[in-house]
Structure 1
Amino acid sequence: MSNQSQEQQLKKYQLFDKDIEGMFDDITAIACESCNTPFAMLSFIDTNTQWVVSQNGSFPSQIDRKKSFCAHTIENNDLFEIPDTLLDKRTSENEYVLQAPCIRFYTGMPIINSDGITLGSICVLDIKPNVLSKYQKSILRLLAKDILSQLELRKKNLELSKLKELHHLITENNPDLIFAKDSDFKILHANSAFISLYPQEMRDKVIGYTTIEGYNEEEVEAFTAQDRLAFELGQTQTTEKIKFPSGETRTLYTTKTRFEDEAGEAYILGVARDVTEREKLIDKLKKSNADLDEFAYIASHDLKSPLNAIKRLVSWIEEDSKEILIGESLEHFGMIKNRIDRMNSLLKDLLNYSRVGKNDGTPQKLNLKETALNCFELLDLPKDFTIDVEDKELTLP
């Protein structure tokens, strides 16, 4: 066992906090009485020091590990005994043997946790040589087990306390509304975000209440409908508009989940996210899309009519002047009609673009060659550039 591992384990139990004072005094008193010795001590040991946390006697609260009897105990996995300290070379020169209180007898039991780390020891001491009986040794072993049980319970309580602090930190700094209800729909827990939605004078009427005590039966039924479903189905999700006692109406996306305690009592945990601003934005986007649809329809419809009129007019002029116009002039009339057709195609595309994402289920057809040639006309390419595209029709879902 490394000293570093031992020190890390001692920190987990927070053995040097003030609240541990007096925690084991009954155990050291029982050790003295059971073993019929004047001294007993419970201590924990790190790299350099033996820390005495409880004792019957007058030993210092800190003892140099080199001078410690218990330093020998923690090197063993079971009870360690020195019947006469003057006759044992490990302790014969110890100052607590040669000077007051002149210890002549020592028996210690190591305290080993579930990870196999020795934390310290429970020991008894006498000013005359001695040997413990089998019964007294069994008592010392039982006391060591009891100490370890209390230490493990302390560690678990410390871990739970940390988890509770973390839970409190998370819920109190969470903008979502978090609450828990019992089967009578009474609120047992609610975070600050939830409680802040109530006026100051009503906030002490949230925990332990349903908050709907003043409503009529029909309103209560509507308000608790999702709670009932959560208890029945295990979980519900809904988006709802709720008017709070503050007079403010908010849109909430709420998830309610049933859970049970150790006794099988059912509760629901609710997490409500305020989506009021999101819903407002969605409404704005819907209106914007509707405006775009209207614009695209008007633009394509209103512009098509004059374009068709221009095309007809050009055709008439071309027909009336075909005997007068020759060469490039006739080509120019063809180019005008071509550009008009292209403009009509662009208007059609504008209308189709405005409908992107609004598929009505009708398959759309696309001619690959026609589309490629339309794109070709938009590019400023050399006259000798040619493009060869297969005349295929694609059907788009």
Structure 2
Amino acid sequence: MDTVLRFVGLDLELDKELQEITDLAATMCNASTAVISFLDTDTQYFKVKRDCKDIVGEVKTYPRKDTFCSHAIKQDDVMIIPDTLADPRFAYHDAVTGDPNIRFYAGTPLWDSEGQKVGTLCVLDTNPNNLNEQQKQLLKVIANQAMKTIELKIKSITLQEKLTEVEAQQEYIYDASIRLRSFFESSTNFQVLLGKSGEVIDFNKTAFNFVKRAHNTDMDRGDLFVTYIAPEFVSKFLDGYNLALKGIRHVEEGSTDYGEMGVIWWDATFEAARDKNDDIIGISYLIRNVTERKEREQKIIKQNESLLSIAHIQAHEFRAPLTTIMGLMSLIKEDDYALASGYLPYLEMAVNNLDEKIKSIVVDIENSVEKL
């Protein structure tokens, strides 16, 4: 029974308020012992007691089927056994015929706030006894007070646990926010968080410093970010922004001339920012400065163009010495190589001419590469 287990797990044995309640119950009923206990399907758990005659002793649990309280919890009123020896249900019970020789028992159910019987408040003695109507009513009132006290303690413990969880959660969130802010601020990329109306919600140092330098003004939260966009890029910015608001990630590339700062090449990423429920709350706008990469690319393109140009210009110059060599070889073959020695000076001249052309082109290429 989960309902009972939440009471069983409580550390109530030394609770001052509940100890006072059991003392009051024993005193009002002229009994030596009073016990608050809880019962599940199989076991009775003794939680709080006032035990002048050591009737319960150090016992903490007992099989439910052998207890007086297993009968009392089935009733709605106080169950009284004035003399256990005179009650056939208990006359031969071990606790009656032997130690601790219980002769009197009175018990009333403990009801939780949900109307479930979860245990009993009982009084015991080694001498026969009885309760009058006033004592019976008082025992029920005391039992009701005992349960209210116990449930209040449960709520207090639960509240404390929740507070501890909240504090731990707050500490975790704080640490996470510090880490996130540190990561956010340490980025060399321009990054801003924009609201659904285009207003600036947050920004990192890189973004703030760039706006300060490029526009000679401080960017503040709440500013319309479009005011910091170069006029020629406004329409593309709005297109990317609106796509991101629909949950579509968008990347844009381009360059902007910032006057004294020079031309800056960039790529911009528009991405939806979402809350814990995955609802879009704004836009994450990140810009990377790719000027260095673009300059390298442009340099390589110019190198390739220059080399192609050189090759195109010089290619026809190869044709003359090659044509000469091919013509001489044709004549040598026609004479069946018999007069080859007569053609060798001309062949050597053509080869040397070709070699000079090749060297000249190589030098032109090297000079062109150095200039780039």
TM-score by structure 2 length? Answer: 0.49
Higher gyration radius (CA): 2
Judging by fraction of residues, say which structure has more helix.
Answer: 2
TM-score by structure 1 length? Answer: 0.46
